[in-house]
Amino acid sequence: MASPKLKTAAEAHAQLTMEAAAHAVEEMKWSERKSAEMYGVNRRTLSNRLNDRHTGSRGRQPKIPPHEEEALADFLPTNCAAAIVEMNIRLGLKYKAFNNQHFRRFLK
């Protein structure tokens, strides 16, 4: 099973700040404008969050479903490593070992 994506410090800070601003509006009865100014968040984004707009995922749908992607990620390194190393040797490529870095380049 794939682990959830780790957030960067900036992403975590932005999420916590937005949650604090939303809390100020909902619990402390601040206006959206005042809360956005005090916490330094976008007023429209805060308003959308409070009104449950645009809460879904962004971007295109993945080409393959997540369960198939996980199965492929489990299958490739263990079952295809020897074939990939052999292909790299025959092609005279610089990277002859199969490791995580090679796997990441393959998936790009």
Q: pLDDT tens track of the chain, all 108 residues?
A: 444 566 788 888 988 999 999 999 999 999 999 999 999 999 999 999 999 887 666 777 778 888 888 888 777 767 777 777 787 788 887 766 666 666 666 666
Q: Where are the alpha helices (DSSP H) in the chain?
A: 9-26, 32-39, 43-50, 66-91, 100-107
Count the domains in the chain: 2
Residue 45 shares a structural domain with residue 72:
no
Question: How far is residue 52's CA from residue 5's CA, in Å, rounded to a whole number?
Answer: 23
Residue 61 domain-assigned (yes or no) = no
The domain containing residue 40 runs over which residues?
9-50
Give the predicted TM-score (pTM) of the model: 0.49
Tell me: do 71 and 40 sit in the same domain: no
Question: Cα separation of 44 and 54, whole Å?
Answer: 11
